[in-house]
């Protein structure tokens, strides 16, 4: 990321400067950005916005570097929904993997109980762990997920 001398962020350099050396960029008024993310930042529940009042040049190196400080704010409802939607495919894939992994221990437990025996504690523990993970994933999917 780059910035101008007044702190305006630039996501991409102009094509003519894409491969320019730092001194050429500095002559053009463009500088590398060093970002300062606050400790304890949680991307699952917070977002970063540039705190326009807190930035400055670091002239300790060969070329000035703009240092930006980030302000932390809670995610908006729209951002939380977008984040949840972005995670849905991975959550659904993992739920399908859990279903597949549950077949063998469930079948072993059912067969043992059908014969009047006591299920293997390892099978019971495996099935319980898989179900616990599946419940947490279903909760992460939210109230109106696609097919669970």
What is the reported pTM?
Answer: 0.51
Q: How confident is the model at residue 3 (pLDDT cuts 50, 70, 90)?
A: confident
Q: Tell me if 123 sits within 8 A of 105, measured CB to CB.
A: yes
Residue with tokens 């705190």: 51
Q: Classify burial at 66, counting beta carbons within 10 Å of its beta carbon; exposed 0-12, middle 13-18, buried 19 or more.
A: buried
Q: Given a cut of 80, is residue 65 above it in pLDDT? A: no
pLDDT of 122: 97
Q: Tell me if 112 sits within 8 A of 70, measured CB to CB.
A: no
Q: Given a cut of 50, is residue 62 above it in pLDDT? A: yes
Q: Tell me if 63 sits within 8 A of 31, measured CB to CB.
A: yes
User: Phi/psi of residue 47, each to 5°?
Assistant: -130, 160
Q: 22 vs 94, which has greater pLDDT? A: 94
Q: How many CB atoms lie within 10 A of CB 58?
A: 13
Q: How confident is the model at residue 148 (pLDDT cuts 50, 70, 90)?
A: very low
State whether residue 55 is helix, strand or coil.
strand
Q: Rounded mean pLDDT of 33-54?
A: 67
Q: 78 vs 68, which has greater pLDDT? A: 78
Q: Rounded mean pLDDT of 104-130?
A: 96
Residue with tokens 């179900």: 131
Q: Supply the mean pLDDT for the chain.
A: 80
61 contact partners, CB below 8 Å, separation of at least 6: none
Q: How confident is the model at residue 134 (pLDDT cuts 50, 70, 90)?
A: very high
């Amino acid at each position: 990321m780059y910035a101008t001398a007044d702190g305006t962020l630039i996501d991409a350099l102009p094509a003519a400067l894409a491969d320019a050396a730092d001194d050429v960029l500095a002559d053009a008024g463009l500088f590398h950005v060093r970002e300062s993310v606050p400790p304890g930042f949680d991307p699952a529940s917070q977002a970063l916005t540039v705190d326009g009042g807190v930035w400055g040049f670091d002239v300790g190196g060969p070329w000035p570097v703009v240092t930006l400080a980030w302000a932390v704010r809670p995610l908006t409802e729209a951002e939380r929904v977008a984040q949840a939607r972005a995670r849905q495919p991975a959550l659904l894939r993992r739920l399908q993997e859990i279903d597949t992994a549950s077949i063998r221990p469930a079948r072993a437990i059912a067969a043992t109980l059908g014969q009047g025996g006591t299920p293997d504690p390892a099978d019971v523990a495996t099935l319980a762990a898989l179900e616990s993970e599946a419940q947490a994933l279903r909760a992460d999917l939210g109230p109106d997920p696609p097919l669970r």
